[in-house]
Amino acid sequence: MYLTLDIEKQARPIIRSGENVNLALRFMQSLAEWLKSSLSNNLDNFILTTEGFHKHVTELNDTDSRLLLDKTGDVIRWFDKLQEQFDRINFMDDVELKEKFKYAQKSLFKLEALAHVQTTKNVPIEKTQNFLQEGIAKLSKEAIGSALSQA
């Protein structure tokens, strides 16, 4: 009996797999760079659009400002979900991307605040009835008194 081993034949599948892993890693790195670049550009456009619109919110009528307020609330919730996902991957280790995202959120919050002011500026203010004011004052006095007696 003659025993031989063709080591190259046995190692060839491993070497091919290793080359495929290297190819896959390069592809994933390329994809990550493309995603970062695309997200960065989209954030730039979003920031420019929202900040440019800040000064025009006062020109909206009640219906349009209410619609903007509702839609802005939806987008804020989407951004919150995105932030959770980006936090899990540390914003793909990109500090600039993280700062842009935070700035976009701030711009979004400001837009929401402006839309809220515009929406509620024509709502009549109702005076609080006297019996409610007196009841609140009485509860406050009782709460302060009980807090001081426990101390």
Please give the single-letter amino acid code of residue 27.
Answer: F
53-72 residues labelled b (16+ CB within 10 A) or e (exposed): eeeebeebeeeebbebbeeb
CB of 100 within 8 A of CB of 43?
A: yes
pLDDT of residue 17: 79
pLDDT of residue 115: 96
pLDDT of residue 59: 93
pLDDT of residue 148: 66
CA–CA dist 24, 30 (Å, integer): 10
pLDDT of residue 23: 84
Digit-by-digit pLDDT tens for the chain (151 residues) are 566 777 888 888 888 777 888 888 889 989 989 999 999 999 999 999 999 999 999 999 999 999 999 999 999 999 999 999 988 888 778 899 999 999 999 999 999 999 999 999 988 888 888 888 888 888 887 777 776 677 5
CB atoms within 10 A of CB 47: 17
